[in-house]
A and B are shown apart, each in its own frame.
Chain A
Amino acid sequence: MSDVPGARGAIPQPVSGGAAAAAPVPAVASDGGKAGRNQIRREQRRVLFTSPAFVVGCLIVGFWVLAAIAPGLLTSAGEKEFVEAGNNSRPFGETWLGTDSTGWDVYARIIYGARPILIVAPIATALAIVVGTLLGLIMGYYRGWVDEVLSRVLEAILSIPVILMAILVVTTFGKSTPIIVGTIALLFVPAITRTIRSAAISESDLDYVTSAKMRGENGLYIVSREILPNVVGLVVVELTVRLGYAVFTYATLAFLGFIGGSVTDADWGVDVAQQFNQIVNDRWWSSIFPATAIATLVIGVNLIADSIDKALKS
């Protein structure tokens, strides 16, 4: 190996005779010697796909995704079509879920209403995850005054309930879908950053990071190649959990009237807000069914999140 810089001699061949070489290579510690990360991944996938929570969650979410993508497949009525049955007709009769006070078909409204929420929530969550993970890693690895200052800012954002902050920001900058997406993303960043930062701090204490420093690796390399892979599981869990919260938050904002787009567009939160006064008139279906839609979507996302969490831990 004389072309290797600094070589002072060949690496010795295993010495014959002597205890060190006579030792047959010791067996692998864990489950009987099966090789590969693939084994672990396959096991995790098996646990995931067979868990009832995951299946149910996927069914629910899948249904709503279909509704968002191809509403026409699921209903023949339009979202703003004045249906024959007239207004306030009861459910389980002519129409599946009844009609609301304006005369629109509740079922159709629900199907069309899946789209806005399924656009905003995932995008906002993805944005928040990217920013949050980046910030968390940087703050956790470098520490120092940047960490101190940013931590204070994040804490400030966290000290107000998300809804209120959302209201503030949206009011200031206007009610449009991009703004809403950005706001929800912004408000989720602190929590995500906190989690990732704390993981980054623990990882930075471990010796493999020290070993990398000793090799002369620079900060960017260490954060992205050494630390990030160890934090990925956490990121996945955060993603799924925050998605549930994002759905929750968007629904609440819609309920309070802060949405982009027209007030007459089908949107679950908006529908609940407009129709819940009918409840006292014994007309519950026009608000309860949209509310149920919200509940099922959130529960579905949470079921998926939980089952992924459990699978990663197995």
Chain B
Amino acid sequence: MATLAILLVIITAIPNLAPGNPARKVAGGTASPEVLAQVTEDLGLNDSILVQLGKTAQSVLTLDFGTSPAGQPVSEILWSSLGNSAKLVILSLILIVPLSILGGLIAAYKKDSLLDRVIVNVGVAFSAVPDFVAGVFLLAFLAVPYDFFKTQASAPGEGPLVQLQHLLLPAIAVLAVYFGYLARITRAGTINALEADYTRTAFMRGLSTRDVFRNHVARNALQPTVAVLGTQLGYLFGGMVALEKVFNYPGVGKMILDAVEGANYPALRAGVLTVAIIYMLATLAADLLVAYMNPRVRQSLGDN
């Protein structure tokens, strides 16, 4: 909650801090003084900081984000961008989650074998590469030669399967970037669980490997993965701005980018706050999930 408050402060501060006159940017270089004054008023820049803060907070609570300088209601832009990003995120997750977790589990189980090293190193290599670089490569070597892969990620008006097809390449790019990190976390968590005393106790009691894995290892091993997924989910929503540019996809990242370039402060505020809120919700959900998996965490959460 406090984080949200701090963010609000930052968001409100930005137009005030920007060098040059934001109102002029919005109104255009040739606007007359009267128009300029009007725009300044509209942007709320004449009010004191506290009032601006209050107005921003109010807009968040009422979900009324005002209108952009061009006249379009911000909420419209926001919701459509959000929806687009959500589609990409969901598809990406469907690819990432099973593959990374499986990869991590296998790497841990066959620790130090060739397979383990391959998984880890490939993961590391790919995760180093920026999302748009992966996107450009995919564009050049899959989209252009093969008709199946589309060069644009958006396909407005088409049915869900077609939309999916268009989203395939960007989702693969996301997978390439995130696989390594998640697989590594899973691997580390699994190794910890495998080497724990309670796993040893289970073996000593005569349980089969399969049972040990199922009953004891899984729930403990995946806790860090779940926690990390929460944070990464938050980043997926706004952080793919470069990828969106490559595939010309109107997601939240692109929205914020456009807002910045067009000095569209209402949209900018809305976009950034939304991303922050999604991040917080995602981490909260992850924390709850971890608490479900770990009764000790449950207890300390309950104390707070």
Contacts and interface: CB of A to CB of B under 8 A. Distances in A.
Q: Does A touch B (CB under 8 Å) in the complex? A: yes
Contact of A298 (B3, B130, B151): B130
Contact of A276 (B129, B136, B234): B136
Nearest to B277: A159
Interface in A209-254: 244, 248, 251-252
A299 B14 CA distance: 35
A295 interface: yes
A17 interface: no
B140 A163 contact: no
Contacts of A171: 18, 260-261
Contact of B260 (A156, A167, A174): A167
A162 interface: yes
B292 to A, nearest CB: 23
| Chain A interface residue bracket vs B | 35 or more
Question: Closest 3 interchain pairs by CB?
Answer: A161-B239, A156-B6, A284-B140
Contact of B241 (A256, A272, A276): A256
A171 B259 CA distance: 11
Given A163-B241, A280-B144, A272 B10 contact: no
B102 to A, nearest CB: 23
Nearest to B3: A156
B93 interface: no
Contact of A291 (B128, B136, B235): B136
Given A152-B2, A295-B133, 17 more contacts: A156-B6, A159-B234, A164-B256, A167-B260, A168-B260, A168-B272, A172-B17, A173-B19, A251-B133, A252-B242, A255-B130, A273-B245, A276-B246, A288-B136, A291-B132, A294-B133, A302-B125
B137 interface: yes
B198 to A, nearest CB: 24
Interface in A151-202: 152-153, 155-156, 159-164, 167-168, 171-174
Contacts of B234: 159, 161
Given A164-B275, A174-B19, A256-B242, A159 B140 contact: no
A164 B271 CA distance: 10
B139 interface: yes
A288 B17 contact: no
B140 A288 contact: yes
B279 A255 contact: no
A63 to B, nearest CB: 17
Given A248-B128, A298-B128, A163 B3 contact: no
A69 interface: no
Nearest to B280: A159
B133 A291 contact: yes
B133 to A, nearest CB: 5
A19 to B, nearest CB: 38
Contacts of A272: 132-133, 136
B257 A173 contact: no
A167 B151 contact: no
B263 to A, nearest CB: 9
B115 to A, nearest CB: 18
6 contacts: A159-B279, A161-B237, A168-B14, A251-B133, A255-B130, A255-B242
A282 interface: yes
B248 to A, nearest CB: 10
A156 to B, nearest CB: 4
B172 interface: no
Interface string A125-140: 0000000000000000
A265 interface: no
A111 B112 CA distance: 38
B212 interface: no
A155 B276 CA distance: 11
A171 to B, nearest CB: 5
Nearest to A276: B136
A279 B18 contact: no
A287 interface: yes
Interface centre among A156, A244, A287, A298 (most CB of B within 10 A): A156
Interface in B225-263: 234-235, 237-239, 241-242, 245-246, 253, 256-257, 260-261
Nearest to A301: B128
A298 B132 CA distance: 13
Given A248-B128, A295-B129, A162 B239 contact: yes
A279 to B, nearest CB: 5
B124 interface: yes
B128 A302 contact: yes
Interface in A102-147: none
A79 B253 CA distance: 32
A46 B19 CA distance: 53
Interface in A270-307: 272-273, 276, 279-280, 282, 284, 287-288, 291, 294-295, 298-299, 301-302, 306
A163 B246 CA distance: 15
A298 to B, nearest CB: 4
B128 A160 contact: no
Given A161-B239, A162-B239, A155 B3 contact: yes
B7 interface: yes
